[in-house]
């Protein structure tokens, strides 16, 4: 049976949020913001709510989880007037084929990368932020700075693997209260990798927002401003990762994990571009000077020859030992086991020795609480450097040394119009300085 649930066109432009109310008046909060797609729990499905949302041009997706009758839920959603369904969890292929949901929010390992859906989503994700140990101190990263919990490594790989829209639908940990900064960090954590986080708030913030509490409304305005910032520059999401370090990995060699090799490199503030082993080609390796191959067993003869040509042309190639892989690759865990981490130690030490203090695209200073993502236009004439601050206080006196000669630079932020920066020559190319950054900023050099 084929259930024809009407889908609003332009699903790739949906900006999603979980919405915990079916009061049509609550949609006044959404109207005028970039949020145009609401995920609604089945107990809140309501024809008046769905009708009002449709009038405002807001898509409504009914959330369905395993355990019930998904076909019956699909019929109910259609009768209620919802736009479509969001299947959250693991469902049989036959059910998915019959219902044709607007989006599946499944485990990372069960994402249907080559399926027909325009949106690929996962419910699995870390809550972004600086990891605090039981003692209250920040856990150390490979650089000695604080370790940042992030989904960017996985999301950057996903964007290298597919051009489809990516949603990450992780929710706040239970029994937590978060400041607005933590939600802004979660939005930016996905957005700098070209993905979208499905907005989800803790119970206290949700209650205060729906009741119209002044502070909650102020924070909601800040959240909407950051969403608008990224949505108004959606062209950034289509740019490719830049830098001279390529990381060859794939779904079976740790690319679906958080805290793996890519995140370790990023924590060192070294630009790295993921190259899926399944898509390895001479074109993908163009411009790289150093390659780390953590997928030696997963490459076929043609792909291995690509890396041999890279090395013969003067590139430096580091590979894991023969037969090396992640023991947990067959499970649904999204963080590394101690066994995985111990196996990475040798590769990490060797790579750290080779990279040293080389500038492989950009060098950053005074950014211990930050992560970055360096992107470039195909012709190399424009470089985009995303910066996200995961601390809850502003960072000052940031410096970036970018490879290449650039004549113009500007800092884009959600708080206001672009701020011109004065580029200056450095031995490595072009330097810029940023006086102060709250949560997110983007440096564009031309």
pLDDT number for residue 37: 98
204-244: per-residue pLDDT in tens?
Answer: 999 999 999 999 999 999 999 999 999 999 999 999 999 99
- Architecture of 362-445 per CATH? Sandwich (2.60)
pLDDT at 1: 30
Report the pLDDT value the prediction gives residue 321, as an integer from 0 to 100: 61
In degrees and rounded to multiples of 5, residue 151 shows phi and psi of -105, 5
Neighbours of 106 (CB within 10 A): 22
CA angle 186, 191, 192 (to 5 degrees): 105
Retrieve residue 132's tokens.
Answer: 């605090």
CATH 3.40.50 fits 243-355, yes or no: yes
Domain definitions of the chain by residue range: 11-237, 243-355, 362-445
Q: What angle in degrees, to the nearest 10, is found between the helix axes of 203-210 and 214-231?
A: 100
- Looking at residue 339, the DSSP 8-state letter turns out to be H
| DSSP H/E element including 384 | strand 383-389
Which class does domain 11-237 fall in? alpha beta
Residue ranges of the alpha helices (H) in 81-151?
93-99
Q: How far apart are CA 31 and CA 96, in angstroms?
A: 31
User: Can you tell me the distance from the alpha carbon of 132 to that of 129, in angstroms, rounded to the nearest whole number?
Assistant: 9
Give tens-digit pLDDT for 355-376: 766 889 999 999 999 999 999 9
pLDDT in tens, the chain (446 residues): 333 344 444 799 999 999 999 999 999 999 999 999 999 999 999 999 999 999 999 999 999 999 999 999 999 999 999 999 999 999 999 999 999 999 999 999 999 999 889 999 999 999 999 976 544 455 655 555 688 999 999 999 999 999 999 999 999 999 899 999 999 999 999 999 999 999 999 999 999 999 999 999 999 999 999 999 999 999 999 999 999 999 999 998 889 999 988 998 898 899 999 999 999 999 999 999 999 998 888 899 999 999 999 999 999 998 866 655 655 555 788 998 777 777 776 666 777 777 766 889 999 999 999 999 999 999 989 999 999 999 999 999 999 999 999 999 999 999 999 999 999 999 989 999 999 999 999 999 99
> Please, which residues have CB within 8 angstroms of residue 323's CB and are 6 or more apart in sequence?
297
């Amino acid at each position: 049976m084929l259930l024809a649930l009407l889908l609003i066109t332009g699903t790739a432009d949906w900006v999603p949020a979980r919405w915990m109310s079916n009061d049509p008046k609550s949609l006044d909060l959404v109207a005028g913001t970039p949020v145009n797609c609401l995920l609604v729990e089945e107990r809140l499905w309501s024809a008046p709510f769905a009708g009002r949302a449709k009038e405002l041009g807001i898509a409504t997706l009914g959330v369905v989880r395993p355990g019930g009758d998904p076909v019956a839920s699909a019929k109910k959603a259609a009768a209620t007037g919802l736009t479509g369904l969001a299947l959250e969890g693991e469902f049989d292929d036959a059910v998915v084929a019959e219902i044709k949901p607007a989006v599946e929010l499944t485990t990372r390992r069960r994402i249907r990368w080559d399926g027909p859906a325009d949106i690929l989503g996962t419910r699995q994700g870390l809550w972004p932020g600086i990891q605090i140990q039981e003692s209250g101190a920040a856990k150390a990263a490979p650089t000695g700075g604080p370790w940042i919990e992030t989904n960017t490594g996985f999301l950057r790989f996903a964007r290298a693997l597919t051009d489809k829209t990516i949603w990450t639908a992780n929710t706040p940990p239970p029994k937590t209260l978060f400041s607005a900064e933590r939600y802004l960090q979660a939005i930016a954590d996905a957005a700098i990798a070209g993905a979208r986080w499905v907005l989800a708030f803790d119970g206290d913030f949700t209650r205060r927002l729906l009741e119209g509490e002044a502070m909650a409304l102020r924070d909601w305005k800040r959240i909407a401003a950051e969403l608008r910032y990224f949505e108004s520059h959606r062209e950034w999401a289509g740019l490719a990762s830049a830098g001279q370090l390529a990381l060859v990995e794939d779904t079976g060699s740790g690319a679906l994990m958080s805290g793996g090799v890519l995140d370790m490199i990023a924590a060192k503030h070294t630009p790295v571009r993921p190259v899926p082993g399944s898509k390895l080609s001479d074109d993908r390796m163009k411009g790289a000077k150093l390659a780390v191959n953590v997928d030696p067993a997963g490459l076929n003869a043609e792909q291995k020859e690509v890396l041999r040509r890279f090395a013969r042309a003067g590139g430096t190639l580091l590979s894991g030992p023969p037969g090396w892989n992640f023991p947990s690759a067959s499970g649904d865990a999204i963080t590394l086991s101690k066994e995985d981490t111990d196996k990475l130690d040798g590769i990490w030490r060797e790579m750290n020795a080779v990279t040293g203090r080389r500038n492989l695209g950009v060098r950053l200073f005074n950014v211990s609480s930050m992560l970055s993502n360096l992107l470039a236009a195909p012709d190399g004439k424009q470089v985009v450097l995303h910066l996200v601050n995961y601390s809850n206080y502003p960072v000052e006196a940031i410096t970036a040394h970018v490879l290449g000669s650039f004549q113009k630079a500007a800092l884009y932020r959600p708080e206001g119009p672009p701020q011109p920066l004065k580029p200056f020559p450095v031995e490595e190319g072009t330097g810029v300085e940023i006086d102060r950054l709250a949560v997110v900023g983007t440096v564009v050099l031309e």
